[in-house]
Structure 1
Amino acid sequence: MSENVAGAAGPDLPGKSVAASRTTLSHIMTATDTNLLGTVHGGVIMKLVDDVAGAVAGRHSGGPAVTASMDEMAFLEPVRVGDLVHVQAQCNWTGRSSMEIGVRVMAERWNESAPPVQVGSAYLVFAAVDEEGRPRPVPPVIPETERDRRRYQEAQIRRTHRLARRRAIMELRKNRAAEGLDDE
């Protein structure tokens, strides 16, 4: 599997295991995080997701990385004031300069010993950039466990779907423009 994975990102950089950049960010939710319903704003959770994914992308790539896209952000349960939120992330897949980061959001009551409950998940794509903001190569990710290998394969499917969706939208726009329907 390592040879196949290494070929995706380029042979020049040594690969890194998924575990090498796996990160967890924990935060207690306060009243300033809430919406009018008294639950935590989705945007607050999304910021935590982007923060931890950015840390993983920077660790994996060994330098700056920027958010290119976020997809499949799912909110499964509400988060409330006083919840201790754990945002866990890992690099699932790498290309030449891009990385898919998978994120799981868990929450538990700060004053209870019940196990955390999954409240959200997301997949983000980050692009590694140099000092001028141009794409730079990233090390290939090396999945070590069966779970890591499954996540790598699923990430490849998501990438294929993202690229196909982008091509279909660009083709539609091109056709509409050719018909004089350029409606921006």
Structure 2
Amino acid sequence: MSTKIYLSEVMMPSQTNPSGNVHGGELMKMMDSTAYAAARKFCRSNVVTARVDELEFHTPILIGDLVTCTAEVIYVGHTSMEVAVNVEVEVLEAEQGPQHALSAYFTMVALDRNGRPMTVPKLELETEEAKAAFEAARKRHELYHERKKQRQQTMTKSAEKSH
């Protein structure tokens, strides 16, 4: 089953600052919507965004540019999924093709009808590229949990010292 979703939109003046550059928040919203659709299609349930990692802007996007988001589930845990989102921009007046504009990894959590986390299906890894993306995401997932544990320990120690 394909987990890839595409979403395209021409950028309008209401999405930009006075200089004509598209607001980063507008692009993040579009990316989040695309990640949501890919994750929901994969697990066939509602999902929520838990985390965004490695959001990187590579080139400006202007009024009138065509923006295409591509989102694909690349990793699944027990109740969460990592969705890779890439954004391409195309200046429609130019003959140059689409250029990579930004990318990020969205962690989405599957929810049951009561709003509680639920188990997600296993991800079928059919290519070497999919296996490599899954492994890189697994490492990001483990690193995040290590850092989270360290932050909690630091906060506990700080709270103990203040009492």
Q: TM-score scaled by structure 2?
A: 0.96
Residue 113 of structure 1: CA displacement? Answer: 3.5
Instruction: Render the CA deviation track for 1:144-168: whole Å, top value 9, x for unaligned.
Output: 1222111111101110111011101
Aligned-partner Cα distance in 2 for 1:148–1:115 = 26
Corresponding residue number in structure 2 for 1:82: 64
Q: What amino acid is aligned across from residue 115 of structure 2 in structure 1?
A: G
Corresponding residue number in structure 2 for 1:14: none
Residue 37 of structure 1: CA displacement? Answer: 2.9
Residue 106 of structure 1: CA displacement? Answer: 0.3
Choose the corresponding residue for 2:96, options 114, 137, 144. Answer: 114
Corresponding residue number in structure 1 for 2:162: 180
User: Structure 2: any 5+ residue segments left out of the alignment?
Assistant: none
Q: What amino acid is aligned across from residue 150 of structure 1 in structure 2?
A: A
Q: What amino acid is aligned across from residue 108 of structure 1 in structure 2?
A: E
Residue 154 of structure 1 aligns to a residue whose secondary structure is helix
Corresponding residue number in structure 2 for 1:138: 120
State the structure with bigger RCO (CA 8 A, min sep 6), 1 or 2.
Answer: 1
* Bigger mean CA deviation after superposition, 109-118 or 88-97: 109-118
1:58 aligns with 2:40: yes
Aligned-partner Cα distance in 2 for 1:52–1:37 = 26
Aligned-partner Cα distance in 1 for 2:123–2:74 = 7
1:10-25 equivalences in 2 (<5 Å)? 17=1, 20-25=2-7
Residue 142 of structure 1 aligns to a residue whose secondary structure is coil
Residue 141 of structure 1 aligns to a residue whose secondary structure is coil
Aligned-partner Cα distance in 1 for 2:129–2:66 = 26
Q: TM-score scaled by structure 1?
A: 0.86
Instruction: Render the CA deviation track for 1:101-152: whole Å, top value 9, x for unaligned.
Output: 0000000012334211000000010000011110111111112122211111
Aligned-partner Cα distance in 2 for 1:173–1:112 = 53
Residue 77 of structure 1: CA displacement? Answer: 0.6
1:100 aligns with 2:82: yes
Corresponding residue number in structure 2 for 1:40: 22
